[in-house]
Amino acid sequence: MKTRVSVIIPIYNVQEFLEECIESVLAQTLINKKLTDGYERNLQVILVDDGSTDASGEIAKGYADSFDYVDYIYEENQGLGHARNYGCEFAEGDYIVFLDSDDLIRPYAYERMYDLAVKNGSNMVIGGVWRFDSKNYWDSDIHKIAMSGIKEVTHITESPELLYDTTAWNKLIKHSFWKKHGFKYPEGILYEDIPVSFLLHYYTNHVSIIYENCYLWRVRESSKSITQKTKETVNLKDRIHVMKVVDDFCKDNVNNEKLLSMKIYKWLSKDLMIFINKLNATSVETSEEIISLISDYIKENINLSDIDKLNEIDCLKYKYLLENNLEKLISIINFQMYELHKAEGYSTNDHTIVKVDEELFGESDLCIDKFIRNKNHYIRYIDKLSINKKQITINGVTIIPGLKDDDFNDRDYSFYLVNTESHKKMPLKYKNVPASDLTYTIRYGSNISYDAAGYEVYIPLSTIAGNEDFLGENKLLVCFKQKDVVYNYFARLRWDLKSKKSKAKLYKNNYFSIDHDLNNEI
């Protein structure tokens, strides 16, 4: 049956979350899209029961019995990779997408991804990701890095930060592209989506990006998923295995130095570091085995000079790891986790210095510029938004922790209204305003003044009314520069989930999107 999109959902003992997951798919706006060009259905949902022993199978079969576009498939338990591959065999859609059975997809996600793929002729579209639990929602760290640019269409060789986009399920993939390259997820190991995601990015003609949140990635509180069990040695062995798969491919196929450098940086700062940072809660025996595995990988695959590119704290961790000094390594981990944010510090000549234990750090004054100026520590949000008959007024802040900002002349702002469809940009007027009511927690560099971090920008409604270049969705692009830091981003609201509401502002046939309601699509 000619189908636009096939959704493949592997299922294994997720009775607690499965209904909510499937309901999020049934709520997709794509289902109601007008059928044209010979399409007989918009969506096919493939539920692959990987030998569940709880009520998951019965729940899945119930949906298959109730909806003609939902298929139920059973197999003996063979793992997530095999379940995804097996589900692909039944996919009839021009595009395929994976969804983990304990996660959720936003209502508009698949329609927007599909429309963007068709518009740009992209073999792959990726969407933004939030983590969530029973109490809160927050950015996924790896996807925040992966989508730190502002391009709608790009490629991993042009935007190496896409290396951080390593998950299977935030991607819409052209089915013919998938079959042409014979993509398959490795079976019988963890982290199977890392090498496949890299190959997808490398072989695609280009990737289209939806920066707004499309996918909700659950943090399980009552039990632990694969990505939440980072203490076991077997997990590290699997992680290193998939890293080596990517390493071997790159040796034979990749000569882009920026991409290769980003790969090593990611391995050191993320993939291996998640295991290192848990050593303070791991037995000595297991810790020693983890240190041995990581040391062996580094000695065989990484130049020690690459470690110097990391932040100051991580450099020290690897120093003590390679010296097999577990006691000092754990002391550094504990310092970062429990003491660094409250350490006595000061700013001098645009450097942030903290007082530390000289015996542990080799000096009493430690410069932590790289650490606190990591993009994950940048603070930017819209604090206030108002509208009247003439204009939309937006107040917000941009803060680079540790970089003093108490003089409006020390930094530059520029603002643009950007249309999602036409990509046209309109420069906007603004004024500098003091950053008042900084009641959020600046975890690092909180003792430094950021009084000049604020702005107030204006969108004149008369200018965009009836302007075909700005019909539909428009976003606010903030371009910020201070010293050697250049930071461009699409603005969004400060997190306040208890009172969070849609902030799309309608004006005739134009609307301005700041963020999305958690329950309603824009």
**Residue 520, in any domain of the structure:** no
Secondary structure E strands in 219-361: 345-348, 351-355
Residues 137 and 273 in one domain: no
Share of the chain above pLDDT 90, in %: 66
Do 333 and 255 belong together in one domain?
A: yes
Q: What pLDDT score does 400 carry?
A: 86
396 and 358 within one domain: no
Residue 48's pLDDT is what?
A: 99
CATH number of the domain enclosing 426:
2.60.40
For residue 82, tell me if it sits in a domain. Answer: yes
Question: Pick the residue with more confidence: 373 or 330?
Answer: 330
User: What CATH number is associated with residue 28?
Assistant: 3.90.550.10
- State the pLDDT at residue 420: 76
Element (H, E) at 250: helix 233-253
State the pLDDT at residue 511: 44
What digits encode the pLDDT tens for the residues 161-176? 999 999 999 999 999 9
Of 261-275, 385-399, 440-454, give the lowest mean pLDDT range: 440-454
Asked if the model's pLDDT at residue 85 lies above 50, the reply is yes
Residue 294 domain flag: yes
The whole-angstrom separation of Cα 417 and Cα 478 is 9
Categorize the per-residue pLDDT at 184 as very low, low, confident or very high, splitting at 50, 70 and 90: very high
Residues 492, 356 share a domain: no
Higher pLDDT, 228 or 376: 376
319 contacts: CB under 8 Å, gap ≥ 6: none
Which of 323, 339, 372 delimits the end of a domain?
372
* DSSP symbol at 9: E
pLDDT band at 218 (very low <50, low <70, confident <90, very high): very high
User: 26-30, 117-121, 490-494: lowest mean pLDDT where?
Assistant: 490-494
Using an 8 Å Cβ cutoff, are 452 and 432 in contact?
A: yes
Which pLDDT tens digit goes with each residue over 263-315? Answer: 999 999 999 999 999 999 999 999 999 999 999 999 999 999 999 999 999 99
- In angstroms, the CA 484 to CA 486 distance is 7
Do residues 347 and 353 lie in contact, with contact meaning Cβ atoms separated by under 8 Å? yes
Confidence at residue 500, expressed as pLDDT on a 0 to 100 scale? 36
- 111 close to 33: Cβ distance less than 8 angstroms: yes
Decide if 503 is inside a domain.
yes
Place of tokens 């305003």: 433
Rounded to the nearest 10 degrees, the angle between the axes of helix 257-266 and helix 233-253 is: 170
Residue 522 domain-assigned (yes or no): no
Q: Are residues 338 and 438 in the same domain?
A: no
| pLDDT at 348 (0 to 100) | 79
How many structural domains comprise the chain? 3
How far is CA 150 from each of CA 7, 153, 176, 475, 491, rounded to the nearest angstrom? 28, 9, 28, 11, 11
Long-range contacts at 345-350 (CB < 8 A, ≥ 24 apart): 345/445, 345/447, 346/447, 347/402, 347/404, 347/445, 347/448, 350/403, 350/404, 350/483
pLDDT of residue 508: 39
Stretch 186-193: mean pLDDT = 94
* Among 372, 387, 422, residue at a domain's last position: 372
Taking 50 as the threshold, does the pLDDT of residue 509 lie above it?
no
Domain match, 312 and 417 both: no
Supply the DSSP string of 270-303, one letter for each residue: IITHHHHTTGGGS-HHHHHHHHHHHHHHHHHH--
Q: In this structure, are 198 and 315 located in the same domain?
A: no
User: Are residues 331 and 239 part of one domain?
Assistant: yes
Is residue 205 one of the residues assigned to a domain?
yes
Looking at residue 140, its pLDDT comes to 92
Residue 138's pLDDT is what? 85
Average pLDDT over residues 395-419: 89
Give the pLDDT band of residue 473 (cuts 50, 70, 90).
Answer: confident
> Does a structural domain hold residue 519?
no
**At which of 372, 406, 438 does a domain end?**
372
Q: Given this model, what pLDDT does residue 342 score?
A: 80
pTM of the model: 0.86
Per-residue pLDDT tens for 2-57?
A: 999 999 999 999 999 999 999 999 999 999 999 999 999 999 999 999 999 999 99
CA distance 185 to 419: 37
Q: Give the lowest-confidence range in 49-58, 143-152, 247-256, 273-282.
A: 143-152
Provide the residue range defining the domain that includes 496: 377-513
Binning pLDDT at 50, 70 and 90, where does residue 501 land? very low
The model's pLDDT over 343-389, given as tens digits with 9 standing for 90+, comes to 877 777 778 888 899 999 988 899 888 888 777 778 888 888 888 88
pLDDT at residue number 374: 77
Tell whether 54 and 124 lie within a shared domain.
Answer: yes
| Residue 179 pLDDT greater than 90, yes or no | yes
* 518 within domain boundaries: no
pLDDT digits (tens, 9 = 90+) for 95-113: 999 999 999 999 999 999 9
* Interval 121-132 mean pLDDT: 96
Q: What pLDDT, on a 0 to 100 scale, did the predictor assign at position 438?
A: 64
The pLDDT assigned to 521 comes to: 34
Distance CA 180, CA 333 (A): 46
Same domain, 65 and 196: yes
Residues whose CB is less than 8 angstroms from the CB of residue 271 and which lie 6 or more positions away in sequence, other chains included: 194, 239, 243
Q: How confident is the model at residue 497 (pLDDT cuts 50, 70, 90)?
A: very low
User: Given this model, what pLDDT does residue 65 score?
Assistant: 98
Q: Which two tokens stand for residue 438?
A: 């900084």
**Whether 130 contacts 137, CB under 8 Å:** yes
In the predicted structure, residue 340 carries a pLDDT above the cut 90: no
Question: Is the domain of 316 the same as that of 341?
Answer: yes
Q: Do 53 and 193 fall into the same domain?
A: yes
